[in-house]
Amino acid sequence: MRSGDLTPVYVPAVQDEAIRDLSRAREDTLHDLKTAKFRLKAFLLRHDIRYTGRATWGPAHLRWLSEVVCPTPAQQIVFQEYVRAVTEHTERLQRLEQELHEQVTAWRLCPVVDALQALRGVQFTVAVTTVAELGDLTRFANPRQLMNYLGLTPAEYSSGERRRQGGITKTGNSHARRALVEGAWAYRYPAKVSRHLQLRLEKLPKPIQDVSWKAQVRLCKRYRQLSARGKNPNQIVVAIARELSAFMWAIAQQVPVTA
């Protein structure tokens, strides 16, 4: 330690871990809800019971589900249990999301969560997941360290003068990486300040608003350039997510965080 050979390790505070557990519980519930919906749809499809409407899981679809009658009493019981599972997971997800909103307001990193929502595609869920998993973003000396921690940098296969890169390393925190990739899809459209984004920007300082617009212009242009080169959309979105994390780091540098 005296010679400086030891690498310091980031230890999250108790409250930071609590918010992270709540965020992961919401993510697990969302996964369970998707699984329950898939099972219900698969059951109906096996018995050739098809919904002829447009959007699923809306009011019209739920009314249609309440009128479904299966061929046998046993199958009707199975159907009702699948519907009940979807309802229970939906209510559980709503409870966790409401609790997450309430708990974050008293969190020391709440200003960072609010500031990150200045970025397009980074709404409350993505911002909370990222900060809860990574903690204080200012602990990274530069954006490259953050990208490496997220596993969004290409793997290296080099020998001598030959340099060869593969897919992303996928090391580090998978929860934050998944949230960033999800938010990066918003940049496939032209740069624009939507009504919802404008409402979030109005509460933030001018420097953060400038970073938000700079990110939009660069990332939307980057998506078009990579798309014109014939890149796969999934590869493009990962590249956008990598640069998006750098803009998150830049915003976090301007937000004071209490210990």
Looking at every residue in the chain, the average pLDDT score rounds to 93
Helix locations, 47-121, DSSP H: 59-66, 73-105, 110-116
Mean pLDDT, range 193-207, rounded to an integer: 94
CA distance 24 to 93: 11
DSSP bridge pairs for 154:
168
Among 162-171, 198-207, 245-254, the minimum mean pLDDT is found in 162-171
pLDDT for res 2: 84
Q: pLDDT per residue over 238-249, tens digit each?
A: 999 999 999 999
Instruction: Report the sign of the C-alpha dihedral through residues 153, 191, 234, 113, in that order.
Output: positive
CA distance 240 to 29: 27
Q: What are phi and psi of 124, to 5 degrees?
A: -60, -45
Strand ranges, E, within 81-199: 154-156, 165-168
Task: Residue 136: name the closest of 15, 30, 1, 3 by CA.
Answer: 15
Q: What angle do CA 236, 242, 243 make, to 5 degrees?
A: 95
Give the tokens for residue 145: 């360290």
pLDDT for res 86: 97
259, pLDDT greater than 70:
no
Half-sphere exposure of 234 (CA within 13 A, CB side): 3
- Is the distance from CB of 158 to CB of 164 less than 8 angstroms? yes
Mean pLDDT, range 231-256, rounded to an integer: 94
* Percent of the chain that is helix, strand, coil (3-state, to 5): 65, 5, 30
Mean pLDDT, range 207-229, rounded to an integer: 96
Strand ranges, E, within the chain: 154-156, 165-168
Mean pLDDT, range 32-61, rounded to an integer: 95
Task: Residue 176: name the closest of 227, 125, 215 by CA.
Answer: 125
By CB atoms closer than 10 A (0-12, 13-18, 19+), residue 119 is buried
Q: pLDDT per residue over 24-42, tens digit each?
A: 999 999 999 999 999 999 9
**Widest CA span of the chain, in angstroms?**
76
Q: pLDDT per residue over 145-158, tens digit each?
A: 999 999 998 887 77
